[in-house]
Structure 1
Amino acid sequence: MSTDAAGSGETRPEITVTEQAAERALDLLEGEDLDVTEAGLRLFVQQGGCAGLSYGMRFDDEADEDDTIYEHHGLQVFVDPASMNYIEGSVLDYETGLQGEGFHVENPNVVSECGCGESFRT
């Protein structure tokens, strides 16, 4: 489910969060002593990395006025309009493996990534 906090009613491709990613983010969010009914995970894109763009994530205590808000498995995800242009249709997952564990964005808009996978180009 997504809602446009500005109330424009604009329909955007869904940002999906896997159950594993939502559970891990909610565990971390509760550890920050934030109200999970208002707070959420902010997913954004910033300039940087060898391919030009990189993902960022942080917890915010509430959505901004112009954010698109997604809710999956009890987790709210806030995305600002500029970032949405790069990540619409993406899936946020939490992966574990021999290389470690962490959040991973599967983005259908990416045309190339750097060798380390930390940055991308659309």
Structure 2
Amino acid sequence: MSTEPATGSSPVTVTPEAADQAVSLLESESMDTDIAGLRLFVQQGGCAGLSYGMRFDNEPEEDDAVVEMHGLRVFVDPASMNYIGGSTLDYEGGLQGAGFHVENPKATSQCGCGESFRT
């Protein structure tokens, strides 16, 4: 398991808003935020071919990259890192609905709803 520093070059960047929301959700599930974290991954699916997935995990897997920013631990497996390395995880709220959003510089196109992408 590799732990990335909170500053400098990071495989995934987390905004303070995303970290606050995720930590709040982790705490509401009674998960230990010193060990548990948000898993960010890529899976086959969606109209553009690939889609983002997120879930809470109690701890990272052995080969995960672990990013710690703003009190949140983010776990990314090596295969997913190939697609989302350099991305930013943000949280957006508003009239259209609130939720987490991945800004991925490697995505060459996205479907209309923004749920899936192609590299």
TM-score (norm 2): 0.92
The answer for unaligned runs of 5 or more in structure 2 is 4-8
| SS in structure 1 of the partner of residue 73 of structure 2 | strand
Q: Which residue of 2 aligns with 1:64?
A: 61
Q: Is the 8 A contact 2:10 2:67 kept in 1?
A: no
Q: Report the Cα distance in structure 1 between the residues aligned to 2:78 and 2:109, rounded to whole angstroms.
A: 22
CA distance in 2: counterparts of 1:35 and 1:70, whole angstroms: 16
Alignment RMSD: 1.3
Cα displacement (A) at 1:13: 4.6
- Structure 1 residue ranges (4+ consecutive) displaced by more than 2 angstroms after TM superposition: none
Is it true that 1:50 corresponds to 2:47 in the alignment? yes
Matched residue, 1:21: 18
Whether 2:17 is the aligned partner of 1:4: answer no
Distance 2:85 2:10 in 1: 6
Distance 1:120 1:49 in 2: 8
State the alpha-carbon separation in 1 of the partners of residues 14 and 43 from structure 2. Answer: 20
Structure 1 residue runs without a partner (length 5+): 6-11
The partner residue of 2:93 within 93, 96, 116 is 96
